[in-house]
Amino acid sequence: MYGNLIDALPAVLSLGNILAVVVGVIAGICVGALPGLSATMAISVLIPFTFGMDPLVALGMMAGIYNGAMYGGSIPAVLLRIPGTPAAVATSFDGYPMAQQGRGGYALQVAVVSSALGGIASALVLMLLAPPLAKVTLLFGPTEIFWVAVFGMSAIVFLLGGDIIKGLISAAFGVFVSLIGVDTITGYERYTFGHLELLDGINIVVLLVGLYALPPAIGLLEEVRDFDTKNTGRLNTTSIWKAIPGMLKYWKTWLRSSVIGVFVGILPGAGGSMAAFLSYNEARRASKNPDDWGKGEPEGVAASETSNNADTAAALIPALTLGIPGTAVAAVMLGGLLIHGLQPGPMLFRDNPEIVFGFMWQFLFAAILLIFLGGALATNSFAQVLRLPRPLLGAIIIALVFIGVYSINNRMFDVYLMLGFGLIGYFMDKLKFPLPPVVLGLILGGFAEQNLRLALRIGGGDWSILASSPTAKVLIAMVLLVIVSPLVSRRLRARKASKVAG
Amino acid sequence: MNHESNAPSSPRSRRLDPDLIAGIVIVLAAGALLLRTAGMPAMTALLPVSMLSVLVLLGVFLIARCVIRLKRQGDAYAPTQVFDNARRFLGIAASIALYVAGVALLGFYTTTAVMIPAVAWCFGYRSLKGLLLADLIFTGGIAIIFVLLMGQELPTELFLR
Amino acid sequence: MGFKSLSVAAALIVSCITTTSALADYPEKKIDMIVGFAAGGGTDVMARNIAPYLEKYLGNGVSVVVKNMPGASGQIGITAVAEADPDGYTIGTYNLPGAMARTLDRNADYDADSFTYLANIVNDPNVIVTPKSSDIDTMDKLVEAAKARSGAVTVAMSSLGGDDHFFLQKLSSATDADYITVPFSGSAPARSALMGGHVTMGIINVSEVVNFRDELNVLGIASKERSSMAEDIPTFQEQGYDLVNGALRGFVAPAGLPEDVESKLLAAFQQTYDDPDFQTAMRKSGNPTELALGDDFEALNAEQLELAKQIWETQPWK
């Protein structure tokens, strides 16, 4: 098996294949960085184009785009509070405040280093541990996946923001949106109002772009003021290599977030945004100064960016071995494999080792390339683009948003839907309803429901199936721990404080 | 939404709290959607009913909170202001709607090439050179990537259909 | 109603005009091939594999362009084909029994008469699989377990109202036993749940099992003869159960295609199917082929519709 890894290396190192990865990373950073465009969209546009290409060239480009976009998404998240990909939502929590304080350049440097490290960790796991981790994935049936979703939901608590009522309304709205479409278990169509386009549910990109990219575009046009770019400030232009030593103190967060990202990645269906939310939450809980989070704590950027890149290659483990993609992007990439006749499964590793293992190498190279390509060069050029005169930037974002949403399924319907979400998002923003719970609700709501009901069908309607397997029991314990531990630690802290006072 | 935009102008409606309107909209919308769960199989209806009920409940809380605040603080109570400039917002909303309609009817490239300079000009960027350059780079760039490189179709131009 | 007849009249006029122009030398411009699924799915790969061969055999330097219109398990794409001009410049992929089942369980804007049936290319028979760890490794053991206790056998499958679901209904009446359906969204999650031993048995297609032979027990295949993709899997008929069922993928055009266009297309599909290079490409992408051309395809469609109606009336799936 490891012999295959070495055998696959020479082909990857050919000029064409290296170039494919480089082009992919650059394209990915651009796509991620442009508000409205997403990795899902870029890869769906790319797939038909790669038919007839050499598989390694095609896959190298996809690996590059995936890694590049996961980092690229942080650029507008930091500079404009528009997450470029769903997984960059958590990056904006601390990244945007940093940019407002004039530390946007540093935020992006933390993001690129963390992204690269997360990506490298993920690629190594994919290369070395794919078959054993696929066995872990198999332990997760509907029951266990339900508990994972519940675990992910626990992150909602800290996303609610200051106003609990509004936070809960946002969360409930997100869950409701996730229920639109055919109920796969009874076949009943929920809230589709006769539209075929709604039967498959609402694509996360449509919602995300509507809620997150359209309102800021409106905001850019709305301001009557002169177009100063004071709030994005001048970006820190010191070399990234000089900045790295100062970041080494985040090593614990890097490690923790990589583990979380990889773990979420190998679970089917959860995806990078859940990884980012969870690892942000965990890093914050472990921090000595949790109250500074959300106000410009670089460690928050590190946590989110590490895990959303750690999720990339790991999400391919279930995709390659079982055909069940770990993220929405991995799902699209699976199509990219199929189009080259590469059917997922154990036979793929036996029949086409040079391609599968070459693909893994490409993931590793793409992650390493991020530091070089995503460093000063890309970061600064995008910062310049985002400092265009505001009315112009607003107009361009509107056009980009259109392209990004239209190209996913080649239809206008999604664009209209996105405009609807844009209107809702605009008012939510103005009335200070938090947006992250909507995203988490959409990702996990229907997902939890479907798995719960599958589990109940398997158990013949008996709810005790939810605690029947050892894996499920461990997960329940984890959920309880997450809910109970903040209460305990708060009490401990209170006791300590009273002792100090006394 | 329209009466909301007039809110800051008249003194009587200054008390019209956007949170209050939001609460009412949420209760009405969730209530209406709740009615549609009637025909669903029990397990299908379970989560929608619970989510919508929670929304109705939270909407009522929101309304109640606004009313209480209003009573306590009286005239001193200043609700959050929604629009910095309602006319501008309506203008932007109209141009986005026009743009999307234009893309569907006339085609993507034509409409985009017109929209970008027009919108940027209307909302305050008046450098002719900058506008034309940005338009050329953006629309041209998209055309090169989508038409030449990818062979991907965006809504086709009217005169090419 | 008035609008409908108007649009029919309009369509007729349009088709008359286009017919006369098509009488010239079809094909004289690009042909759109509408695929109702996203790029990279089984149906899409079939379409992309066949497109260059159609170009070759239709001649005239024509280009066949694949257009993905994903959504509603193919229904959006099929509807677009049904509503296109019948001039031979729009053809589309067609999946059975799904396409016909949707006319029963949803409001579909098309029916069996909306199409000119060109060619069915792929026939992917169903298989019954159980987890490797399971002691149910023959049909007899399975039937015994299903009869022993009602609801004891849970069946993972990829969706409701699809070929796997129809196969289960056939199995249920052939074995006179009840099974509990567990509809996942897609066959890969269903297969993974099987491999993890979370369900008793699963119904998937033979193309989805060939790469997982060592991980699963395959009890039988629902085809008349053994599949060339997996010669060692016995058919159900060999084992005494009269079960034949599968997923079909082919191509249709809108109804009312001019005859000369239709015959040119049919000839091109036949030539494509006979091309050994095409067969190799299909095998490589895991598509078991079986041709049903023109009238044969239409008869096959009618048969599938009849079956779906029967099941829908006795055991509606929603």
Contact in structure between C47 and C66 (CB atoms under 8 Å): yes
pLDDT per residue, tens digit, chain C (318 aa), is: 444 454 555 554 444 444 444 445 888 888 999 999 888 778 888 999 999 999 999 988 889 999 989 888 889 999 999 999 999 999 999 998 989 988 888 888 899 999 999 999 999 999 999 999 999 999 999 999 998 887 789 999 988 888 999 999 899 988 888 899 999 888 888 999 999 999 999 999 998 888 888 889 999 999 999 998 889 999 999 999 999 999 999 999 999 999 999 999 999 999 999 999 999 988 888 889 999 998 999 999 999 999 889 888 887 877
CB contact under 8 A, A338 and C192: no
Neighbours of chain A (3+ CB pairs under 8 A): B, C
Which of A44, A170, A221 best probes binding to B when mutated, by most B CB atoms within 10 angstroms?
A221
**DSSP secondary structure string for all residues of A282-300:** HHHHH-S-GGGTTSS-HHH
Strand partners, A418: none
CB contact under 8 A, A395 and B96: no
Q: What's the number of domains chain C is made of?
A: 2
- Tens digit of pLDDT for each residue in A293-335? 888 899 999 999 999 899 888 988 888 888 888 777 888 888 8
Q: Which of C221, C255, C284 is the endpoint of a domain? A: C221
- Residue A454, phi then psi, degrees to nearest 5: -60, -45
Min Cα separation C270/chain A (Å): 23
**DSSP secondary structure string for all residues of A353-408:** HHHHHHHHHHHHHHHHHHHHHHTHHHHHHHHHHTTS-HHHHHHHHHHHHHHHHHHH
CA–CA distance, C60 with C265 (Å, rounded to integer)? 13
Nearest to A447 by CA among A178, A185, A205: A178
CA–CA distance, A95 with A429 (Å, rounded to integer)? 18
**DSSP secondary structure string for all residues of A167-213:** HHHHHHHHHHHHT-EE-TTT-PEES-TT-GGGTT---HHHHHIIIII
Nearest to A99 by CA among A123, A74, A117, A119: A74
If asked whether residues C39 and C119 sit together in one domain, one would say: yes
CB pairs under 8 A between A and C: 140
CB contact under 8 A, A391 and B123: yes
**What is the structure's pLDDT at A300?**
93
8-state DSSP, C227: B
Residue A263: how many CB atoms within 10 A of its CB?
21
- Residue A342, phi then psi, degrees to nearest 5: -95, 100
- Provide, rounded to the nearest whole percent, the portion of chain A with pLDDT above 90: 35
CB contact under 8 A, A166 and B62: yes
CA–CA distance, A425 with C99 (Å, rounded to integer)? 37
CA–CA distance, C296 with C303 (Å, rounded to integer)? 11
Dig out the tokens for C252 from the structure. Answer: 């249709």
Min Cα separation B45/chain A (Å): 9
Arithmetic mean of pLDDT over chain A: 86
Dig out the tokens for C292 from the structure. Answer: 């049903």
Largest CA distance in chain C: 67
Using the Cβ of B58 and the Cβ atoms of chain A, whether some distance falls under 8 Å is answered with yes
If asked whether residues C188 and C157 sit together in one domain, one would say: yes
CB contact under 8 A, B44 and A221: no
Contact in structure between B150 and A49 (CB atoms under 8 Å): yes
CA–CA distance, A416 with A409 (Å, rounded to integer)? 13
CA–CA distance, C52 with B112 (Å, rounded to integer)? 34
Q: Is C228 among the domain residues?
A: no
Q: Give the C window 182-201 contacts with A, CB below 8 Å.
A: 182-189, 191-193, 195-196, 198-199
Using the Cβ of C279 and the Cβ atoms of chain A, whether some distance falls under 8 Å is answered with no
From chain C, pick out residues whose CB is under 8 angstroms from the CB of A323: 187-188, 191-192, 208
CB pairs under 8 A between A and B: 159
CA–CA distance, A453 with A428 (Å, rounded to integer)? 32
First to last CA, chain B: 38
**CATH of residue C17:** 3.40.190.150
Q: Is C35 helix (H, G, I), strand (E, B) or coil?
A: strand
**What is the structure's pLDDT at C246?**
92
List all residues 6 or more positions away from A391 whose beta carbon is below 8 Å from its beta carbon.
Answer: A220, A221, A227, B119, B120, B121, B122, B123, B124, B125
8-state DSSP, C72: G
CB contact under 8 A, B41 and A186: yes
Residue carrying structure tokens 């909602």:
A156
- What is the average per-residue pLDDT within A267-288? 84
If asked whether residues C106 and C134 sit together in one domain, one would say: no
CB contact under 8 A, B44 and A185: yes
If asked whether residues C112 and C8 sit together in one domain, one would say: yes
From chain C, pick out residues whose CB is under 8 angstroms from the CB of A199: 71-73, 75
A76 preceded by a cis bond (ω within 30 of 0): no
Contact in structure between A172 and B54 (CB atoms under 8 Å): yes
**What is the structure's pLDDT at A236?**
56
Which of C43, C65, C107, C198 best probes binding to A when mutated, by most A CB atoms within 10 angstroms?
C198
8-state DSSP, B147: I
Written as one letter, the residue type at A50 is T
Nearest to A355 by CA among A335, A370, A341: A341
8-state DSSP, C62: -
If asked whether residues C172 and C283 sit together in one domain, one would say: no
Q: Is B25 helix (H, G, I), strand (E, B) or coil?
A: helix
CB contact under 8 A, B43 and A185: yes
Contact in structure between A68 and A433 (CB atoms under 8 Å): no
Q: Give the number of C-alpha atoms closer than 13 A to the C-alpha of residue A305, restricted to the C-beta side.
A: 36
Q: For A179, which of B47, B84, B97 is closest by C-beta distance?
A: B47
Using the Cβ of C45 and the Cβ atoms of chain A, whether some distance falls under 8 Å is answered with yes
CB contact under 8 A, C286 and A343: yes
Residues A262/A265/A267/A271 CA torsion (nearest 10 deg): 140
8-state DSSP, C250: E
CA–CA distance, A421 with A194 (Å, rounded to integer)? 19
- Domains of chain B by residue range: 2-76, 86-160
Q: Strands C90-96, C31-35: parallel, antiparallel or unpaired by DSSP?
A: parallel
Using the Cβ of B29 and the Cβ atoms of chain A, whether some distance falls under 8 Å is answered with no
CA–CA distance, A55 with A357 (Å, rounded to integer)? 12
**What is the structure's pLDDT at C72?**
85
CB contact under 8 A, A398 and B61: no
pLDDT confidence tier of residue A229, bands split at 50, 70 and 90: very low
Angle at A182 between CA C255 and CA C185, to 5 degrees: 95
Written as one letter, the residue type at A40 is T
Which ipTM was obtained for this model?
0.88
If asked whether residues C109 and C142 sit together in one domain, one would say: no
If asked whether residues C251 and C118 sit together in one domain, one would say: yes
Contact in structure between C269 and C120 (CB atoms under 8 Å): no
Contact in structure between C230 and C210 (CB atoms under 8 Å): yes
**What is the structure's pLDDT at B1?**
36
More confident residue, A87 or A171: A171
| Domain, as residue range, for C163 | 125-221
Contact in structure between A502 and A177 (CB atoms under 8 Å): no
From chain A, pick out residues whose CB is under 8 angstroms from the CB of C230: none
Which of A173, A177, A222, A458 best probes binding to B when mutated, by most B CB atoms within 10 angstroms?
A222
Strand partners, C129: C202, C218
Enclosing H/E stretch for C257: none
Q: For A431, which of B22, B100, B151 is closest by C-beta distance?
A: B22
pLDDT confidence tier of residue A155, bands split at 50, 70 and 90: confident
Residue carrying structure tokens 């935020």:
A107
Contact in structure between A77 and A83 (CB atoms under 8 Å): yes
CB contact under 8 A, A415 and B100: yes
- Tens digit of pLDDT for each residue in B4-33? 444 444 444 455 788 899 999 999 999 999
**What is the structure's pLDDT at A500?**
62
Residue C309: how many CB atoms within 10 A of its CB?
14
Q: Which residues of chain B have pLDDT under 50?
A: 1-13
Q: For B120, which of A168, A176, A392 is closest by C-beta distance?
A: A392
**CATH of residue C157:** 3.40.190.10
Using the Cβ of C237 and the Cβ atoms of chain A, whether some distance falls under 8 Å is answered with no
Strand partners, C64: C31
From chain B, pick out residues whose CB is under 8 angstroms from the CB of A153: none
Strand partners, C127: C204, C221
Residue A230 has pLDDT above 50, yes or no: no
Q: Give the C window 100-159 contacts with A, CB below 8 Å.
A: 105-107, 151, 154, 159
CB contact under 8 A, B120 and A176: no
More confident residue, A33 or B150: A33
Contact in structure between A74 and A205 (CB atoms under 8 Å): no
Q: For A196, which of C39, C71, C281 is closest by C-beta distance?
A: C71
CB contact under 8 A, B119 and A415: no
Residue in C with minimal Cα distance to A181: C72
Written as one letter, the residue type at B134 is A
- Tens digit of pLDDT for each residue in A373-406? 887 666 677 777 767 888 998 999 999 999 999 9
CB contact under 8 A, A398 and B119: yes
If asked whether residues C130 and C113 sit together in one domain, one would say: no
Nearest to A303 by CA among A98, A91, A478: A91
Nearest to C126 by CA among C238, C202, C225, C203: C203
CB contact under 8 A, A165 and B61: yes
- Provide, rounded to the nearest whole percent, the portion of chain A with pLDDT above 70: 94
Q: Give the B window 37-56 contacts with A, CB below 8 Å.
A: 40-41, 43-44, 47-48, 51-52, 54-55
Using the Cβ of C43 and the Cβ atoms of chain A, whether some distance falls under 8 Å is answered with no
If asked whether residues C64 and C83 sit together in one domain, one would say: yes
Nearest to A448 by CA among C229, B46, B109, C280: B46
Min Cα separation B115/chain A (Å): 8
**What is the structure's pLDDT at A386?**
67
Q: For A419, which of B48, B55, B100 is closest by C-beta distance?
A: B100
pLDDT confidence tier of residue A235, bands split at 50, 70 and 90: low
CA–CA distance, C266 with C257 (Å, rounded to integer)? 12
List all residues 6 or more positions away from A313 whose beta carbon is below 8 Å from its beta carbon.
Answer: A119, A122, A123, A125, A126, A265, A360, A363, A367
**What is the structure's pLDDT at B85?**
77
Written as one letter, the residue type at C267 is A
CA–CA distance, C27 with A250 (Å, rounded to integer)? 64
CA–CA distance, A137 with A142 (Å, rounded to integer)? 11
Q: Which of C221, C255, C270 is the endpoint of a domain? A: C221
Helix axes A39-50, A328-338, angle to 10 degrees: 0
CB contact under 8 A, B26 and A406: no
Residue A448: how many CB atoms within 10 A of its CB?
22
CB contact under 8 A, A183 and B52: no
Dig out the tokens for A131 from the structure. Answer: 């078959």
Residue A404: how many CB atoms within 10 A of its CB?
28
Least confident residue range of A151-155, A158-162, C131-135: A158-162
Q: Strands C154-157, C201-205: parallel, antiparallel or unpaired by DSSP?
A: parallel
